[in-house]
Amino acid sequence: MASEFDLIGRYFTRAAPADVLGVGDDCAMFPVPAGRHVATSVDLLLEGRHFFSDVDPRALGHKSLAVNLSDLAAMGASPLGCVLGIGLPQADEAWVDAFSQGFLALCDTHACPLIGGDTTRSNQGVVISVTVFGSVDPNLALRRDGARPDDDIWVSGTLGAADVAYRLLAGALAPDPVRLAATRAALEWPTPRLALGRALAGMAHAALDVSDGLLQDLGHILKASGVGAVLDYAALPVDPALTGLSPEDVAHAVLAGGDVYELCFTAGRQRRAAVQQAAREAGVPVSRIGAVQREPGLVVLDDSGTPMPLRTRGFDHFGLD
């Protein structure tokens, strides 16, 4: 059976950029551009909790890094490198090979080299922890506490597809192979919006990536900024793959569905054209979905301007629902 060192050497070692000390020493070292700060984020993915045991390992490799790169995007940061901690119940080389291919392909796409990590045996399923490092101008970084009254609220891409794929795979929605085929990539191959985040740095007042559901995540911006918001339900970019689902399932998916990895951000009304231009250049559509207001609270208005009853909440790992 392959040892820890065999696995590291075969699947996780790549030549690092010339000015980077990568896999193989006690620490990795990388330069930080002058005048910028390091932005860093870590995510933990547990088998059975964050991914299904039979997930395509290439997709899992991709997603393990994508969710971290999405955090850099939401900060307006550019990747410098990443480290990977992985715990494996057994050394299934075909699995590790496919996982590393998915992971390293996304490293290449975003010039985010894998520069270190730790590999160990796990007694309880696959455990994956990825830490990314990026750089950002601290004065332009997209924090959560900068939303101001009368800001527009925007979201990139579409909403709801990942939640529907998750519920189809979990058996919470009746089997529908056509809809699963149309939504599965949103769940398993999310696209981190790095170009958009960079373009919004210094333009948006507050931003985050939607990982736990639009309402819950927007709530984090509102709380950190000491403001409230009104959303226009009809303006939400519902993924076309949701067509034909019940209104309740659609509302759950777009308002509370997690695993979205789109950017939700606020910007001054006078920046509308600039936001649209940034989105065009980044190659991702954005939708203006509401406005920040001084009074605390989060209201979603339906087509007739009536507040919708909001029973749906985001996916809270320590919550009871």
Q: Which residues bind ligand ADP (CB under 6 A)?
A: 8, 12, 23-26, 84, 86, 114, 116-119
Pull the structure tokens for residue 272. Answer: 């509308």
User: Residue 26 or 54: which CB sits closer to ligand ADP?
Assistant: 26
Class of residue 242 by CB neighbours under 10 A (exposed 0-12, middle 13-18, buried 19+): buried
26 contact choice in ligand ADP, Mg ion, none (CB below 5 to 8 Å, kind-dependent): ligand ADP
Applying CB under 5 A, the span of 57-65, 111-119, 227-235, 264-272 interacting with Mg ion comes to: 111-119
Q: Indicate the residue type of 319.
A: G
Figure out which of the listed residues 118, 295, 302, 316 binds Mg ion, where binding follows CB under 5 A: 118
User: Residue 21 or 299: which CB sits closer to Mg ion?
Assistant: 21
User: Residue 84 or 127: which CB sits closer to ligand ADP?
Assistant: 84
Instruction: Provide, rounded to whole angstroms, the least separation between the CB of residue 252 and Mg ion.
Output: 42
Give the DSSP letter string of 103-148.
HHHHHHHTT--EEEEEEEE-SSS-EEEEEEEEEE-TTT---SS---
Instruction: Provide, rounded to whole angstroms, the least separation between the CB of residue 10 and Mg ion.
Output: 17
User: Residue 3 or 243: which CB sits closer to ligand ADP?
Assistant: 3
User: Residue 8 or 227: which CB sits closer to ligand ADP?
Assistant: 8
Instruction: Provide, rounded to whole angstroms, the least separation between the CB of residue 120 and ligand ADP.
Output: 8
Instruction: Provide, rounded to whole angstroms, the least separation between the CB of residue 77 and ligand ADP.
Output: 21
Applying CB under 5 A, the span of 76-84, 115-123, 171-179, 191-199 interacting with Mg ion comes to: 115-123
Reported as type and span, the H/E element at residue 301 is strand 298-301
Instruction: Count CB atoms within 10 A of the CB of residue 157.
Output: 22
DSSP H helix total and E strand total for the chain: 9, 10
Instruction: Count CB atoms within 10 A of the CB of residue 4.
Output: 13
Residue nearest to ligand ADP (CB): 117
- Contact, 294 vs 228, CB < 8 A? yes
Instruction: Count CB atoms within 10 A of the CB of residue 299.
Output: 14
Instruction: Provide, rounded to whole angstroms, the least separation between the CB of residue 128 and ligand ADP.
Output: 9
User: Residue 134 or 290: which CB sits closer to ligand ADP?
Assistant: 134
Pull the structure tokens for residue 234. Answer: 């009809």
Pull the structure tokens for residue 98. Answer: 């496919």
Q: Which residues bind Mg ion (CB under 5 A)?
A: 118
